[in-house]
Structure 1
Amino acid sequence: MTLPDRLLRQAPPSLRAFAALLAGALSALAMPPVGAWPVLALTLPALVMLLDRAIEDAGTVGRWRRMRAAFGAGWLFGMGYFLAGLWWIGAAFLVQAETFAWLIPFAVLLLPAGLALYLGLACACASLLWSRGWERILVLAVAITLSEWLRGILFTGFPWNNFGYALANDLAFAQSSAVVGIIGLCFVTLVAFAMPAVLFDPPGRARSWPVIFCALTLAGMWGAGTWRLTTTEVGDVPGVKLRILQPDLPQDQKFRYDARDSVMDLYTSLSEGDDGLEGITHLFWPEAAFPFFLEREPSAISRIASMLPPGATLVTGAVRLEPQPGKARPKAYNSIRAISSEGAFLAVADKVHLVPFGEYLPFQETLESLGVQQLTQYRGGFSAAQKRTLMRIPGLPAAVPLICYEAIFPAEVMPDDLRPGERPGVLLNLSNDIWFGLTPGPYQHFEQARLRAVEQGLPLIRGTNNGISAIVDPLGRIEEMLPLGVRGTLDGRLPRALPPTFYANFGNLIPLALLLAAISVAIMLRCRTIHA
């Protein structure tokens, strides 16, 4: 019996539970802004050994008993992981504390508890094929990867801090997402960093070569990514000069109609700067930039038109109203709008994937009748667009509009209206991360948006009220950036798009093949063990 086995066998259940919570919490250090991904080489093996002990204690008789034991260990690990990685969500409820502060304990505790169910169920399923060999690592990695995929789909989806983002912190590793996407990175991360657990298996089992194989795989990925970064040339789109505004406007002012003039003064003065807008072809303002509806404020549109040089375009977030026949209250959409120097609306894109409890309420009318409000407090909630469409903004390549956290859903990035052979030229992500203050949230949000650029081989224009605004090339390299907490503007050129990546063409084909191969190998080895 190895030392970890003896320690876990002697530890009381409460201490094992604490160890699972702690291992999960420490795993969150792999995510931005810390990015200490090597910590997973300690925490994931700890999860494997906790599962070993829980499953063995449950006995060989009683499948449900083994599953319950594995579920408990997995849920506790997940609770620690999501609590440590998502605590900052509570900051959004402090914007209007008099109305929403009482919800902070529910948001900070219930959301991680719910997300941890995915990890608990993954571990429970893995217990069905569990054995004391390196193949159990494959089983666990397949189960968790599938659970992470489901986490991005079920109940509107919330794939925040997928384990694959641990490797995506390093741009050399991130290049692999151009082939396997975030799901493939997740599987590789779980296998590679959980595999050291086999070093503590009983003597006589294969212990070193699986770890060496994983280390060589990571080295190969890093080397291939470094080669791609150093050999791929990315030019600029000619005739395009961008300026992105990060106004750092307090969120409570964005709800105050009486602050409309001061908001416009701030935006225009910062946008023009000391040298004006001469030479700027496209100016970007953040998501939901105004404390009013543009349709009802022609004076604001006139100010925008007079500010822009001839031929320049403002691309801004703005809530858009659409009348409903027979109803007094119009529909409201969280939108991106392009406005010309003549004050004309040139293009519009509405948000498709809304934030539950932020932009709308499930069972909206019923909950509103009980006095419940979503954070944006628009009566009736925002409406969602039926599908994502390209924004065709004069002077820019066709743009994929991604509003706020739409950038975290890799399968939803590409628009539904692409013609055969048509390809966008840029990802456009306008956001408002000031909801979360100076916390890890905006760093994590930016990292996920940046990986979409690498996956698709497209540059990224990202403008936020206060988060991380940046111009990112299709390899994920930051061309220009405004850090979190900084008020100002950045100027830059628009990088060209690369040819479609393997992931852009085939999606999750490679990850699916990896998962099928891994589970097939695990089943084969499991059957051989039982036969022997």
Structure 2
Amino acid sequence: MILVDLLVGAFSSLALPPVYCLPALAIGLLYLYRCTQDSPGWRQLALHAFLFGLGYHTAALSWLTNAILTRAHEFWWAVPIAAPGCAVILAPFIMVPVLLSRMVPAGVPRMALLAALWTLADMGRVFIFTGFPWNPTGSVLEFPGRLGDLMIQPAAFIGVDGLTLVVTLAGLLVWHGKKLRRLLAILAVAWLGGSWFCLSHPRLEKTINPAVALLQGNVQERDILSHEGAVEAFRLYLRLTNEGVAQARELAPDRSVVYLWPESGFPGLLDEEEAARRLIAQAADGAWGMVGSDRRDDRERFYNSIMALDESGQIRAIYDKSTLVPFGEYQPRFIPFNLLPAQLTPGKGVTTWSLPSLGAVDPLVCYEIIFSGQVAAHPRPSWIANVTNDAWFGNSAGPRQHLATLRMRAVEEGLPVVQAANMGITAAYDGAGHELGRLSWGKPGTLVLALPAPHRPTVFSRYGRAVPLYLSVGVAILAVFLGYRRREIIKG
């Protein structure tokens, strides 16, 4: 049975980006539900659910091995344990909801309680270390193209966690008789119809956003470890900057132009390299830009940053990444020995820049875009810019799963969101999550577009994760009440 638990969990992860095999998740949920019925005791049920979660998250995060292999000479010992190690930490977030759902009688009450607790556990993953809400279950609805646009529109009201509640509840109830399947089909049609109406009647602000040139150099990590490689990468991004700015001005001559370099796009400490900033300004020909670069302060602490450069190459603002990647950019304090050669310092938190040419923009670095309800500061920006270097992930599911979070944040906040990635995937979405363009993995070039206006504030942007939290708690209370009523009826 151990092998079966692992395999069913791994199979269920096929519902996540980039495969989107929804029946796999429904089968996995049915398996867990049947375990709550068939397991003779709590220990056996806990083991089934833990092993299911271990298989699920190991398969979903298998791309982590690619990140280790980029520095295999240092971390060769972590290659076989990277994904399973994370899965061991995440598996209890499946095990606990399954165990607690057994408190109510089988049938609709137990299914509803399992869906509600699954959602609450998914939401709780933000409290692991600096948080790890990667692959929320609601992301299974982010199909490519127009169908995905329709499926995820309710995230503007209930967020990705609300989608998780809907998906898990539907994935369980679909097995509970023909009447419920008919009801779910009717609700699905209503869901799509409401989404179509929202897409057809957007409520836009009057803000005029800039034209952007998103740069993707396709520079591999090993190519910038030497001085010659770093110089060549810098020259490449200078050329892309010059080409991108020229294309943006031709595309939107009446708008300001902004260029974006990816995370650590500058292979050094840009704030300490005045000559390099002058060369960037010369290549940009009067345009403003946002450049990813490391920096250090006067206490020799290092940061992963974005710097806003004006037309002369002067730094007008600096944003330091505030949410760091556990075991990647910092080491949790409870580990008594050093795993990382160096650690970064977190910044002060998400902020809104209001600068000439850039307008009102929230700069984010890589990992920060995955945090639902935490990407838009106050005052509200008119667009969000994310810079990343997904070269660590390889050409795997990792960059696609990362990109899915970008799309979901656009819908939740009603804001255009763009991403400049070193090796890919560079992309842009409007405030409804509709893709405006992309550069595929491993393709150097520039993505140039005129950013659309932001949508008016969404329900989710106003109230955040409180919306799915209250929904999930409400469903859990209803499930317990229905379970109590069923017990009373059976006793009577």
TM-score by length of structure 2 reads 0.92
* 1:433–1:464 contact (8 Å) kept in structure 2: yes
1:284 paired with 2:260, answer yes
Structure 1 match to 2:333 = 363
Q: Which amino acid aligns with 1:359?
A: E
1:349 is aligned to 319
Q: CA 1:222–1:21 in structure 2 vs 1: closer, same or farther (change >3 Å)?
A: farther
- Give the Å deviation of 1:26: 1.6
Does the C-alpha gap of structure 1 residues 128 and 254 become closer, same or farther in structure 2, counting only changes over 3 Å? Answer: farther
**1:133 shift after superposition:** 1.5
CA distance in 2, matches of 1:114, 1:516: 24
- Counterparts in 2 of 1:348 and 1:275: CA distance versus 1, 3 Å: closer
Tell me the TM-score normalized by structure 1: 0.85
Residue 235 of structure 1 deviates from its aligned partner by 8.4
Question: Over residues 474-520 of structure 1, what are the superposed CA-to-partner deviations in whole Å (9 max), with x where a residue is unaligned?
Answer: 00011121112211111100111111000111223432332233222
Q: Deviations over 1:254-277 (max 9, x none)?
A: 444443321111111233339946
**Percent of aligned pairs sharing the same letter:** 31
Given that 2:291 and 2:307 are in contact with CA atoms closer than 8 Å, whether structure 1 keeps it comes out as: yes
- Cα offset for 1:365? 10
* Structure 2 stretches lacking a partner, 5+ long: 250-255
Asked if 1:514 corresponds to 2:479, the answer is: no
Q: What's the CA shift string for 1:196-241, capped at 9, x where partnerless?
A: 332xxxxxxxx33333333322322222112212232668964732
Contact 1:21 1:79 in 2 (8 A): yes
Look up the match of 1:134.
108
- 1:256·1:291 contact (CA, 8 Å) conserved in 2? no
Match of 1:179 in 2: 157
Residue identity opposite 1:166 in structure 2: V
Q: CA RMSD in A?
A: 2.1
The amino acid across from 1:36 in the alignment is C
Aligned residues: 479
Q: Contact conserved, 2:410 with 2:432, CA < 8 A, in 1? A: yes
Aligned-partner SS, 1:323: coil
Structure 1: runs of 5 or more not aligned = 1-13, 59-65, 199-206, 325-329
Which of 84-93 and 340-349 deviates more? 340-349
Q: Secondary structure at the match of 2:356?
A: coil
Alignment of 1:98-497 (within 5 A): 98-129=73-104, 131-169=105-143, 170-198=148-176, 207-232=177-202, 238=208, 240-273=210-243, 276=246, 279=249, 281-310=257-286, 312-324=287-299, 330-363=300-333, 367-368=337-338, 372-373=339-340, 377=341, 379=342, 381-415=343-377, 418=378, 422-497=379-454
Q: Which amino acid aligns with 1:22?
A: L
Q: 1:27 is aligned with what amino acid? A: S
**Aligned-partner Cα distance in 2 for 1:100–1:48:** 39
Does residue 90 of the first structure (1) align with residue 77 of the second (2)?
Answer: no
- The structure whose RCO (Cα within 8 Å, separation 6+) is larger is 2
Correspondent of 2:28 among 14, 32, 43: 43
Render the CA deviation track for 1:127-151: whole Å, top value 9, x for unaligned: 222x222211101111111110111
Distance 1:364 1:244, change over 3 A: farther
Stretch moving more, 224-233 or 276-285: 276-285
Contact 1:403/1:430 (<8 A) preserved: yes
Judged with a 3 Å threshold, the aligned counterparts in structure 2 of structure 1 residues 25 and 364 are, in CA distance, closer, same or farther, namely closer
Pair 1:529 & 2:491 matched: no
Contact 2:215/2:241, CA 8 A, preserved across alignment: yes
Q: Counterparts of 2:245 and 2:305 in 1: how far apart (Å)? A: 30
